[in-house]
Structure 1
């Protein structure tokens, strides 16, 4: 796909900027990452549509707008440390890395972690991928400037907030009482208190516990 940059620019213009994402850093990163290379070859022609797509193991690469929106809410500055919960294809981590963030990403399915690690390394993105479901025995201690969760959480996990530096941000698709999910943003103040806000409704695959050596093949 030799014309991917023009397709990426169109995606940014029509799917992301047109829907209200204004961060120039986010828009630039979204236009610079070759999204098609984070998909199996059979799906690469669909890489630029405004939709999640399957990546195997019953997981998906997120809709471009949602990646951009969550990244804008996280607002990582160059050189800041970010922890991602749910590597998946590695695309979200690549966008964060393209913005200059120092990314550590956790993936519970070993096959996805291995593929994402090789893909990110091959494309020159400096991302540390760890086979982990976030359990205490296999997660990094932090602290981090940002934490981003890329699957739907039934509730907040306390350690996501605990590993934030003062001034840090947490972004997570969180299940809500009315049904479905909304993007939840938590900011940790210099005093260690939390400022919470709700944002877009969304739909993500569920966040699950337990490391898997082999996926389900879905």
Structure 2
């Protein structure tokens, strides 16, 4: 009888220890999400100031007919817009964790989104001898959360450039009766089939040889495809 009582007490202590660990883990997750939300707000405030400054420079360059300054100002403007989207992504991570994230669909053009992503990363791609090649129709309208799609495109193209072994990166988009899709392909060493599912887990990284690959997409030697149901813009 005594041994049974001791066994019961031990199981109860283990159960309480597990409850305590779970409570601590939940507190840590909540603290992380609060930090991400605060960081996103703090990052976006100075970015908006920088965006206003660049807009002023851009307007002056257009008024003065300074084509080179206008080109650089537009590139800086796109870079700031990308940073603002990434700061917003921190908020989205918090919302995903607490179940409050919603897609903000609105009429937009996927082709414009991809052209902007390619233009933003063109210099980086050329620097590592991985020229970007875009193949898409002039327009791919639909009801998209265009900021989320821009983040997906930016992550996929960035990884393809980074891990593409100096080979060209192909960005394609198309629409058919199944929906609208785009793909990013490169000529890098590839990702093992066993790892292709878990790279889409949050904050997942793969370490293979000298090449670290992130969860943003299939970064090496493969084609990452995203397909979305076709939705015509409301009139």
Q: TM-score, normalised by structure 1?
A: 0.24
Q: TM-score, normalised by structure 2?
A: 0.23
